[in-house]
Structure 1
Amino acid sequence: MEPPLLALDDVHSGYNHHTIVHQISFHINPGDICSLLGPSGCGKTTTLRAIAGFESVSQGSIKLADTLLSSPKKSIPPEQRKIGMVFQDYALFPHLTVAKNIAFGLPKQASKAATIETLLKLVNLTGYEERYPHELSGGQQQRVALARALAPAPKLLLMDEPFSNLDVDLRRRLSEEVREILKSQGISAILVTHDQEEAFSFSDKVGVMKDGKLLQWDTPYNLYHEPRSHFVANFIGQGHFIRGNAISPESVATELGELTGNRSYNWVVGTPIEVLLRPDDVIEAPDSPIKAEVVQKVFKGAMTHYHLRLPTGSIVESLIPSHHNYEVGEQIGIKVEADHLVAFSSPTDGNKPSVPL
């Protein structure tokens, strides 16, 4: 079995004797593209900076392949780690041309011109060698920053919210292009972002962080469908929790009827339960006795995204084909169709996840 490219083991890190991240452990394999995702201040950038060598490690270790990069007793300088970095503000030298910006990190060698030519072609900027950063668009500047980071052939690329200064459409297109470039070159990368759509579309694995801790490191699919904590379930995707009570290891009685999953949980009958319902779990059912009031609607072409208020005041969301057009204030018949339940013990019961047996 191939060893991981990068491994963090019980990492504690921060600055000015103040620990920001605690007990961070994960690994990435060669060729993996990953993201650290979470709200502002959760510690994702501190984790990235610790990997890069800009922050010290007070406990645990960081290894790149077989090389120990950081521990309480050892720290390899950032420039010796064979790790590339792409920053939010691009960090290009304004007085240097595109070619010279890319060449900045290269050793003095005869093949430098050939390397620059190859990288320009890779990032689709052939012919821009003699332009200066101020003569480029934001997306072009970010491509130059990527080419410069790739120039020394790093083993790992770190990206700190590199697309956040771009408009939405360009951001999406560029993130797709960068992923294709990295995959084509077999380069592993870690992206820091607070945008879950970006993290999901960009990454093979995503780590969700909160208050300096890594809550779950998993595939985008598993984070959405198999969240391990109430926070991850609520943070990832869209949806709302409704309350109920366990009536069997597989079922919960709720105001939307008895909801049954495809597995057994470790809850006791009668336990207060919260069930997460995504918009795709709540479907239109005109003949259903359960009605909900339209409180908000967003037209999305083939589908309309409805926010619906249940008789108890609880809110759920639903995606309904747009040829059925309901107005705000109108009642809709609904039912739940969920392959499995994303359910947790209610906060009054310790807010502990209900684990499938």
Structure 2
Amino acid sequence: MTTPVLELDSLECGYGQQLIVNALSIHLREGDIGCLLGPSGCGKTTTLRAIAGFEPISGGSILLDGKALSTAQHRVAPEQRQIGMVFQDYALFPHLSVAENVGFGIHTSPDRKRVVDELLSLVKLDKLGRRYPHELSGGQQQRVALARAMAPNPRLLLLDEPFSNLDGELRRRLSAEVRDILKSRGISAMLVTHDQAEAFAVCDQVGVLKDGHLQQWDTPYNLYHEPATPFVASFIGQGYFIRGHMQARDTVATELGVIQGNRAYPMPEGSPVDVLLRPDDLVGDASSALRARVIDRTFQGATILYRLQLSTGTQLEALFPSHADHQPGDEVGLRVAAEHLVLFPAQGSVNLHAQLPLEQVLNANQSA
């Protein structure tokens, strides 16, 4: 088995007596871009700072190419780790030009100018080398920070909320460019963000954190279609839970009808379960006997996201093509087209799950 570039083994770290990250274990493969994703305060930035060497750890270990960088007893200095870092605020030197910023970490290389010129060309700033940071846009400053972090040829690149200061289309475009740059050079990287769209667009593997605990380390596809916990189901994407009962090992009976899953589930026959339905699991079907009333809609260009209510009062969301133009109050036909049916053992009351979206169900369960 190939040694991972980065390995976190039962990592624990915090501040004083407060444990922020608890028993975190992940492996990042050579050339992959990983991500730590989660809400504010979940421990993702603390983990990134521990990998960089800025924070000590109280348990477990951090390994780079199989060699320990941090344990509870020993910590390699940040400058000796062969790790580059792109900070949230870019941290550029205002008194240095763009070219001088990029070359700052190259102290002895005889090819310093060649490396700087090559990186500036790679990040599409080859004509701006003599400018200063204050003369650049936010997106250009981000490119300078990326080039500077890559200049010493690190084994691992860390990016802390790198696009959070950018807006809309620029954020989307630059995140795609950064992925292309890292992939073109085969650079392994770890990104921290709270934005799942950003994580999905850039990263090969994503770890969802909650209160310092890793909920799931997986591909974006699996996180969306095969969430390991109700929290992952809630945090990733949109959706609603509805109540069902196991009719067979791969079949569940719900108010939407009998739905067959894509595997044998561990819950016994007859047991109550919560069924996760994403907006793309429901499709419009004018001939279906299952009817719902439109109570709200969000136009999204190619699609329209409808909030629907069944006769029982259960609310769901569904994505229709935008030419299927329905207004609040209209009745529509539905059918379930869930190829990746996700079930969890039932929690809370039937009415609670019938009425509330995922995040409200989770909050209610935690306070019960």
Fold conserved (TM > 0.5)? yes
1:9 deviates by 0.4
Distance 1:299 1:149 in 2: 40
Distance 1:12 1:348 in 2: 32
Q: Would you say the 8 A contact 1:15–1:56 is kept in 2?
A: no
Aligned partner of 1:10 in structure 2 is 10
What's the CA shift string for 1:38-80, capped at 9, x where partnerless?
1111111111111111111111011000321000111001111
1:109 deviates by 3.2
* C-alpha RMSD over aligned residues: 1.3
When normalised by structure 1's length, the TM-score is 0.95
After TM superposition, the runs of 4+ consecutive aligned structure 1 residues lying more than 3 A away are none
Aligned partner of 1:296 in structure 2 is 296
User: Which secondary structure state, in structure 1, belongs to the residue aligned with residue 89 of structure 2?
Assistant: coil
User: Which secondary structure state, in structure 2, belongs to the residue aligned with residue 326 of structure 1?
Assistant: coil
User: Which secondary structure state, in structure 2, belongs to the residue aligned with residue 275 of structure 1?
Assistant: strand
Aligned partner of 1:354 in structure 2 is none
1:348 deviates by 4.1
Distance 1:101 1:119 in 2: 12
Q: Would you say the 8 A contact 2:12–2:58 is kept in 1?
A: yes
Where do residues 34-53 of structure 1 align in structure 2 (5 Å cutoff)?
Answer: 34-53=34-53
Distance 1:342 1:195 in 2: 23
Distance 1:304 1:189 in 2: 36
Distance 1:15 1:77 in 2: 19
Q: Which runs of 5+ in 1 are unaligned?
A: 352-357
Aligned partner of 1:326 in structure 2 is 326
Query: In structure 2, what residue type is equivalent to 1:210?
Result: K
Distance 1:115 1:14 in 2: 38
Distance 1:2 1:335 in 2: 45
Where do residues 1-357 of structure 1 align in structure 2 (5 Å cutoff)?
Answer: 1-348=1-348
**Range moving further from structure 2, 273-282 or 296-305:** 296-305
Q: Would you say the 8 A contact 1:15–1:55 is kept in 2?
A: no
Aligned residues: 350
1:2 deviates by 2.0
1:94 deviates by 1.1
When normalised by structure 2's length, the TM-score is 0.93
**Range moving further from structure 2, 330-339 or 78-87:** 330-339
Change in 2 beyond 3 A, CA 1:340/1:110: closer
Distance 2:129 2:97 in 1: 7
What's the CA shift string for 1:11-48, capped at 9, x where partnerless?
00112342100000011111001111111111111111
Distance 1:153 1:333 in 2: 57
**Range moving further from structure 2, 208-217 or 9-18:** 9-18
**Range moving further from structure 2, 32-41 or 316-325:** 316-325
User: Which secondary structure state, in structure 2, belongs to the residue aligned with residue 247 of structure 1?
Assistant: strand
User: Which secondary structure state, in structure 2, belongs to the residue aligned with residue 332 of structure 1?
Assistant: strand
1:339 deviates by 1.3
Q: Would you say the 8 A contact 2:298–2:304 is kept in 1?
A: yes
Distance 2:80 2:340 in 1: 48
Change in 2 beyond 3 A, CA 1:109/1:263: closer
Distance 1:109 1:339 in 2: 55
User: Which secondary structure state, in structure 1, belongs to the residue aligned with residue 207 of structure 2?
Assistant: strand
Q: Would you say the 8 A contact 1:86–1:158 is kept in 2?
A: yes
Q: Would you say the 8 A contact 2:302–2:321 is kept in 1?
A: yes
Q: Would you say the 8 A contact 2:101–2:148 is kept in 1?
A: yes
**Range moving further from structure 2, 340-349 or 137-146:** 340-349
What's the CA shift string for 1:213-248, capped at 9, x where partnerless?
111000111111111111111211111111111121
Distance 1:108 1:264 in 2: 60
What's the CA shift string for 1:246-299, capped at 9, x where partnerless?
121111111111111121111122211111111111011112222111111122
What's the CA shift string for 1:189-226, capped at 9, x where partnerless?
01101111110110110001101011100011111111
Distance 1:248 1:213 in 2: 33
Distance 1:153 1:26 in 2: 23
1:300 deviates by 2.1
Distance 1:94 1:295 in 2: 53
Aligned partner of 1:355 in structure 2 is none
User: Which secondary structure state, in structure 1, belongs to the residue aligned with residue 280 of structure 2?
Assistant: coil
Q: Would you say the 8 A contact 2:226–2:340 is kept in 1?
A: no
Query: In structure 1, what residue type is equivalent to 2:131?
Result: R
Aligned partner of 2:356 in structure 1 is none
Distance 1:207 1:86 in 2: 19
Q: Would you say the 8 A contact 2:296–2:328 is kept in 1?
A: yes
